[in-house]
Amino acid sequence: GGQRRIDSAREAEDGLHGITMPSAVNDPDVMTDAERVAHELGIEYDVVEIQPIAESFFDAFPEAAADQTAAGNVYVRTRAVLNYLVANAENRVVLGTGNRAEAMTGYYTKYGDQAVDCNPIGNLYKQQVRQLAAHVGVPRELVMQEPTAGMWEGQTDAEEIGLDYDTVDAILAVHVDGGLSRAATVRELDVPAEAVDRVVELHDRSAHKRSMPPAPER
């Protein structure tokens, strides 16, 4: 979620500029973590409350305001617009924080948290992101924090996906990316066949998110 993303970056010699963008559904402790990371890394940052901006969308189309997913995506896409507002105004680029597990399962908002210019950790599975974070000295409580996109109160990635990231990573690595058969994946990873099917379903269903919008060939 945007509350844990510090995304807008100028060319390296000019330093980093972060934006923390809380909404009414964001956990204040997670916001504090985002500011802590910015302080520890010496990143200049601004805090922009996005609730009033999101409310203007809900006022414009109140029929959708009660739809949890539609409303949650408004928060994510609002953050993307603000990221690019700052980036365009200050001649910066937008860095994403998406990882391979998210990309391969489509666990992100289209034109939202993956609306970026570059994904530095985009080819790392979630476990590898944790390992990298620990290697560079990120505090353990942040490394192992329960992932959440912050789209609504109480949301967690694992609950929405239906599997924890360790299982998702393993199935992606050996079955979807690695080509091991379904039966062999179940045997080698000691996971239920339903878990393999769930990851494959997420991967196949989200293919449109990993490609440019289609257009007629002629």
Q: Classify residue 210: in a domain, yes or no.
A: no
User: Would you tell me how many other CB atoms lie within 10 Å of the CB of residue 124?
Assistant: 18
What contacts 101, CB < 8 A, 6 or more positions away? 107, 125, 126, 165, 168, 169, 172
DSSP 8-state class, residue 121: T
What contacts 210, CB < 8 A, 6 or more positions away? 103, 106
| The pLDDT value given to residue 23 | 62
- Domain span including residue 117: 2-161
Q: Classify residue 120: in a domain, yes or no.
A: yes
Please report, for the domain that includes residue 36, its CATH number.
Answer: 3.40.50.620
Q: Classify residue 48: in a domain, yes or no.
A: yes
| The pLDDT value given to residue 40 | 80
**Would you give per-residue pLDDT tens digits along the chain (218 residues)?**
443 343 443 343 456 777 666 666 555 566 677 788 788 878 888 888 889 999 999 999 999 999 988 998 999 999 999 999 999 999 999 999 999 999 999 999 999 999 999 999 999 999 999 999 999 888 888 888 876 655 666 667 777 788 999 999 999 999 999 999 999 999 999 999 999 999 999 999 999 999 999 899 88
Q: Classify residue 144: in a domain, yes or no.
A: yes
| The pLDDT value given to residue 158 | 74
For the question of whether the overall pTM of this predicted structure is more than 0.85, the answer is no
| The pLDDT value given to residue 142 | 86
Q: Which residues face 45 on adjacent strands? A: 18
Q: Classify residue 6: in a domain, yes or no.
A: yes
Q: Classify residue 83: in a domain, yes or no.
A: yes
| The pLDDT value given to residue 44 | 83
| The pLDDT value given to residue 159 | 76
Give the up-direction half-sphere exposure of residue 42: CA atoms within 13 A in the CB hemisphere. Answer: 2
DSSP 8-state class, residue 213: P
> Rounded CA gap, 111 and 107, in Å?
12
Q: Classify residue 181: in a domain, yes or no.
A: no
DSSP 144-209: TPPP---SSTT--HHHHHSS-HHHHHHHIIIIITT---HHHHHHHHT--HHHHHHHHHHHHHTGGG
DSSP 8-state class, residue 117: S
| The pLDDT value given to residue 155 | 63
Total domains in the chain come to 1
Q: Classify residue 85: in a domain, yes or no.
A: yes
- Could you give the C-alpha distances from 206 to 20, 40, 80, 209, 210, in angstroms and in order? 27, 36, 20, 5, 7
Q: Are strands 93-94 and 8-9 parallel, antiparallel or unpaired?
A: antiparallel
